[in-house]
Amino acid sequence: MDVLWDSGESLPANELRDRLLTPAASAANRKPLATTTVLTVLSRLETKGFVVRDRGIRPHRYRAMTTRAEHTAGLMHEVLGSAPDRQDALARFIGNVSPQEAETLRRLLETIPLHRE
Amino acid sequence: MLTTALALGVLAVLLAWPVPVLLARSAWPAGSPGVALVLWQSIALAGGLAMIGALLVYGLIPFGANPVAGIRSLADHLATGSVPAGTSLDHVLALCGALLLGGHLVLNLAVTFVHAERQQRRHLNLVRLLSEPLEGRPGTRVIDHASPVAYCLPSVTHSATVLSRGLLSLLDPPQVRAVVAHEEAHLAQRHHLVLVAFKSWHSALPWFPIANRAENAVALLVEMLADDQARLAVDDHTLATAIALVGSAGLGRSPEARFSAGAADAAAFVSRDRPVDLVTPRVRRLLTPPPRLTAAASVAVLGSAAALLVLPAVLLAQA
């Protein structure tokens, strides 16, 4: 996914494999990655909606469905989200704070001696 | 049998209204959140058992002299499709009520657990994809986002604590350590199980005001428990500063600045009313620590929590 996100364009599977191989794998001295493995992963990612396949030309080209930033935004929306049941399932360090509460907290902050640096 | 049904009914009513109201109003839970959390759980469980038990025992009156014989005889009568003499409509209704209430509560608990589990797994997958581990802490992941956020993702195999870049830039390293210790306490003490159980109780009985009150009280107690764990790692003032800084971080910034990624939803988020303040009591408690319960008082509370759980069973056995 990182390679696809970084490239920002659509890639055929074998080129994706080459990019995956270059930096990390040679250093780790691992078994070379087969294009079929990459294809398997890609088709799974396609079913999960992470990548889209361009079937117009052969070999099929793959690109990321949404950008990394969009995924992060979705994740953060889920965490901060407006749907109450979602945010309850993920216990946050600080839940939603109303403006009045935030103001109270700011005043309390000034009373903490350690904070004045 | 009738007196047992009445006694269970009285117990159910007591546990459904005056007892939780008193507990929610009292001040000692802030000093000993763990003891209070045990008491809340036993009140919820005993209340449910007493309510179902009262209906069941009343409904079984025409079937037998005690609940066990009654259930046997009920099974026989169900097989033949007949009812014993003296069965009136309210006995049948009580039996149906017991069955519906019990089934509703159990099913709702199962559904809520499955739902939460699925959501957490999905979220964990996305987090793995989008975050990188914090140097030196394998279970802690950092996600690139400006809002200061920290939360934990419980999972059977790969629990994770997630921090945002915004949090790391807002807090100094000891404060970050306090946050991480807090979240790891949630994970280690399996707080999500208690939270999900009370959430399911609330969603099963949405019209029941006590369930809402209990859910909020338990949420606050769980946070205090995790704070107490974090206090073992850092001093009270560091933790209080971290909480207050994160809590007041949104002040003085426009909603758009708080949510550069999801500006459209920011309005909904800001206006969402949350009935109970779960943050300022935590800070106040760290600044002026409330007295802990004495050992004798803790034993007394834990003893009554245990007694509450045993009471419905004893009442049933004596019928």
Domains in chain A: ranges and CATH: 2-64 (1.10.10), 68-115 (no CATH)
Is the per-residue pLDDT at B11 higher than 80?
yes
Q: What's the pTM?
A: 0.83
Is the per-residue pLDDT at B101 higher than 90?
yes
Q: For residue A83, what is the nearest residue in chain B, using CA coordinates? A: B269
The C-alpha atoms of residue B282 and residue A9 are separated, in whole angstroms, by 49
Q: Which chain B residues are within 8 Å of A110, Cβ to Cβ?
A: none
pLDDT in tens, A60-93: 888 887 778 877 877 777 776 544 444 455 667 7
Q: Which chain B residues are within 8 Å of A96, Cβ to Cβ?
A: 269, 272, 274
Helix or strand holding residue B158 (H, E): none
pLDDT in tens, B114-163: 988 888 888 888 888 888 888 878 789 998 888 888 988 888 888 889 99
The C-alpha atoms of residue B234 and residue B229 are separated, in whole angstroms, by 9
Helix (H, G, I), strand (E, B) or coil at B143: strand
The answer to whether residue A75 neighbours chain B at the CB level (below 8 Å) is yes
The answer to whether residue B170 neighbours chain A at the CB level (below 8 Å) is no
The C-alpha atoms of residue B241 and residue B177 are separated, in whole angstroms, by 12
pLDDT in tens, B153-196: 888 888 889 999 999 999 999 999 999 999 999 999 999 999 99
Share of chain B above pLDDT 90, in %: 52
Residue A36's pLDDT is 82
Contact indicator for B162, B143 with CB cutoff of 8 Å: yes
Q: Contact B244/A112, CB-based, under 8 Å?
A: yes
pLDDT in tens, B12-63: 999 998 999 999 999 999 999 999 999 999 999 999 999 999 999 999 999 8
CA distances from A57 to A37, A53, A61, A66 (A): 21, 10, 8, 22
CA distances from A20 to A1, A11, A30, B86, B112 (A): 10, 12, 12, 79, 40
Q: Which chain B residues are within 8 Å of A88, Cβ to Cβ?
A: 195, 199
Query: CB burial class (10 A; 0-12, 13-18, 19+) of residue B135?
Result: exposed
* Sign, CA torsion A105/A107/A111/A116: positive
Q: Which chain B residues are within 8 Å of A74, Cβ to Cβ?
A: 126
Residue A91's pLDDT is 66
Q: Which chain A residues are within 8 Å of B195, Cβ to Cβ?
A: 88, 91
The C-alpha atoms of residue B6 and residue B51 are separated, in whole angstroms, by 10
The C-alpha atoms of residue B318 and residue B314 are separated, in whole angstroms, by 6
Please compute, for residue B280, the number of CA atoms within 13 A of its CA located in the half-sphere on the CB side: 15
Compare CB distances from A94 to B192, B219, B279 and report the shortest one's residue.
B279
Residue B9's pLDDT is 93
Residue B145's pLDDT is 84
φ and ψ at B140, to 5 degrees? -110, 125
Partner A, chain B 274-293, Cβ-Cβ below 8 Å: 274, 277-280, 283-284, 287
Is the per-residue pLDDT at B275 higher than 90?
no
